[in-house]
Amino acid sequence: MAVDNDHVMFTEAVIEKHQARLAVALATLEKKVADYIATAPLNEEQLFDLEWAIKSRAELRPLIQEEYLKAVDEMIRDFRVVEADAYEMLDNYGNVARLDPQVVTRLQEFSYQGFEDVATEYLDVVSKTLYESTLTGANFSAAVESAKAAIGGRMARYANQQIHDTLMQFDATINVAVGKEAGATAWKYVGSLVRDSREHCREHQNKVYTIEEIEEIWSGDWDGKQEGDPFKVRGGYNCGHVWRPVFED
């Protein structure tokens, strides 16, 4: 197998490791949130204390920080192993320079900010749910289930996709920045195909294009397309491809 495809497989393995780590963090967060709700004052198993509900936002924030964002921080620090593997892969195709470490650190910081947005959205949803449940005198167990559904449902699905897309885009940015700096004349679309891969990715798998050709092809439309720089968004959400620079002999 070509080393560029080996690199994509390595990146996917890192993503799977991160998604497994994230699942553990979210399960722990779900339990801690449920334990916190269990401290709510009750009147015949119903929530009633609006002061407690208002304060819940401040109490939930450190739980999210400790379980979810701490795990995310560890994963984003681990992006460096993908960077190192990308350089090792690119060295097989040309004499490439390394990016300034501060530039890579900045890319990691931008990645972290996206997960902070997810954490804030979750905090808003749960806080609102607890306040409304208290205002209407909802049953305690119903409030707990609503909070669990927010973590194990939408938050888990979105965070899993975000882990995938964030790392793939980080890898894509490294490859493209290094390739352009080294004077790449064309780009090869490499990656993995799975059962539900988009037809767009199947059509362009392992093909080589100039920048002009890429811009023309990517100006089209297809299911799952993500707007933005084609070198970064590639095939769209959850895409398992990257652009590998191709150099003249």
Q: 117-131 burial, b for 16+ CB within 10 Å, e for fewer? A: ebbeebbebbbebbb
Q: Could you report the per-residue pLDDT of 171-201, keeping only the tens digit for each?
A: 999 999 999 999 998 999 999 888 888 999 9
User: What is the model's pLDDT at position 111?
Assistant: 95
**Other beta carbons less than 10 A from residue 228's beta carbon:** 12
**Which residues, 6 or more positions from 107, have their beta carbon under 8 angstroms from its beta carbon?**
79, 170, 173, 174
Q: In the prediction, which pLDDT does 6 show?
A: 95
Chain centre distance of CA 42: 38
DSSP β-bridge partners for residue 244 = 188
Residue 151 pLDDT: 80
Query: What is the reported pLDDT for 247?
Result: 87
Residue 113, C-beta contacts closer than 8 angstroms, at least 6 positions apart: none
CB 144 within 8 A of CB 40: no
Q: What is the pLDDT of residue 78?
A: 96
Task: Name the residue ranges covered by the structural domains of the chain.
Answer: 3-183
The pLDDT assigned to 159 comes to: 87
Give 200-205 contacts, CB < 8 A, sequence gap 24+: 200/225, 200/235, 200/236, 201/235, 201/239, 201/240, 201/241, 205/241
Regions of the chain with pLDDT less than 50: none
